[in-house]
A and B are shown apart, each in its own frame.
Chain A
């Protein structure tokens, strides 16, 4: 999916205040005055020689006094990126009487710059306009402000300084990393109109269902000539209809285990959940299925109803990018409106009793449910020290009991492993779908 080219409007122009003397000008002025005075009073021609370079510098500044102050605007090239992508922050100055413009950006979490220090400058070279560009990249999904910092300018002969003045920040949405996911297993209950999953009813499709006698309305190109010649009566090939399916992704944002290293380091449980949800959503939407999203713990803005298409994918990824870890709202599973036939995928480290209760409640409603375990494998990644390790080991034992409870409710649990994670699980669900079972309404 290509990133949307932003026509981000530039921030407000900075025109406050004027030029003030630099330390260099003060040094040239005071040194020349002091040395000239002493040279004249004490008749020391060598001091006059020492004062001369400073006299020349100060005189040049007096002659080249700056009058016009710069006018600065800043603009971010893109307002939405995927993890690992970057954009350009452009700071444009109508230079006025400036000879050099410098931009220094503030360090923000999960943000990288090039140059790496976030400092860049440009000489005007006499031009009326100069542009300072810095590359900006965010290292983790989310929505954050970037580009805040300061801008300053220096006049000719370093006589005057304008600024530093604050640069406004720009909002940047970083969508989850485009994880590679592929799955070959069909979804158990396709119920839509068009799609790629084999349905239970006969219809137009590519998968062979049976060879049966010709009936009125059958298409001539479906005639199976070999069987027809052998039996003496016309037979046709019937196929299984292909339909789309509904997949509801439930992301547990109420707890985050482990420390996120962004795109370059280890992934926390929430990183795994968000990226896996993005990968699953992208995969099934590209196959023509309907995908919805529910962020457990998000206050109202974490709901994306079932839908399809590229625009829907962007809406899904935007909602994932807005996930804030640790919020604890709305864990009542009775408020989940899940259409029948929808496969529900819960992405969670399954540490919370509430999430487990919500999962088992959904399973008891007869829905096909899969739990993707997003817990990091490496205990060292989130346990600091021996005491922490012991506490985590005890917590993981309790968690194992919770997972057993989920499995006993008939919900398969699979650890996220990238491509093919859900294949076996979905095949098992398809087989189970053909068998009768008790549900609670």
Chain B
């Protein structure tokens, strides 16, 4: 990133609306909380990785409409995968909430320039959407807990079906991302 572009980014951040500053601070705060959650869930604190993720969080806060939030979310999820033991717990649900917070704060921050305040009715709509996403997540968490408690064994056909579902999902999403609507 050139000095001129960095300077322009900082200028825009200074002129940001108060609501945008709260959203971007939310990205940073959720990242810090997630890294702390990893420790609480039984993982270790890796200073270098954590510092790198915090730098990504700062970039995501400054440029929510860039790829920085994507790498941040994947990085945090990857950190969870590597650091946290394979166990179902309440921390998992909390981690999902924090990842969603990073995602939604970045989404709301990318509706326009930093000086834009997202209208109140749109914020309320997103509040409802977040509630739906969290409700489904909580349901999946409960079902996952049931599977873990019952210690159901995995099998090749089940794995194949699951992989098939995932591949189909990826194909559908890939087509959606490539196609331009309304041309």
Chain A interface (Cβ within 8 Å of chain B)?
Answer: 17-38, 40-50, 52-58, 60-62, 65-69, 96-97, 99-100, 102, 104, 115, 117-123, 125, 152, 154, 157-158, 160, 162
Contacts and interface: CB of A to CB of B under 8 A. Distances in A.
Contacts of A58: 173
Given A17-B180, A24-B106, A56-B136, 16 more contacts: A19-B182, A22-B110, A27-B69, A33-B173, A35-B77, A37-B166, A41-B163, A46-B84, A47-B80, A50-B92, A61-B176, A65-B181, A100-B111, A117-B17, A118-B115, A121-B112
Contacts of B77: 31, 34-35, 47, 50
A47 B148 CA distance: 13
Nearest to B130: A53
A36 B122 CA distance: 30
Interface residues of B, number: 66
Interface stretch (B25-33, B51-59, B93-101): B93-101
Nearest to A22: B110
Given A27-B69, A100-B119, A104-B113, A50 B180 contact: no
B129 to A, nearest CB: 7
Contacts of B100: 53
Contacts of B174: 29
Given A49-B141, A56-B136, A27 B73 contact: yes
A97 B182 CA distance: 10
A160 B179 CA distance: 11
Contact of A28 (B92, B103, B119, B181): B103
Give 9 closest A-B pairs by Cβ, nearest first.
A117-B115, A18-B182, A102-B112, A45-B144, A18-B183, A29-B173, A24-B107, A53-B133, A53-B100
B13 interface: no
Contacts of B148: 45
Secondary structure type dominating chain B contacts? helix
B122 A99 contact: yes
Interface string B104-121: 001100111101111101
Given A41-B163, A48-B144, A50-B92, A66 B181 contact: yes
B170 interface: yes
B99 A123 contact: no
B67 A33 contact: no
A50 to B, nearest CB: 5
A33 B169 contact: yes
Contacts of A21: 176-177
B177 A29 contact: yes
A50 B119 contact: no
A20 B162 CA distance: 30
A40 B166 contact: yes
A152 B132 CA distance: 27
A173 B172 CA distance: 54
A131 to B, nearest CB: 13
A60 B122 CA distance: 16
B110 A158 contact: yes
Contacts of A120: 116
Contacts of A24: 103, 106-107, 110
A54 B102 CA distance: 11
Contacts of A100: 111, 118-119, 122
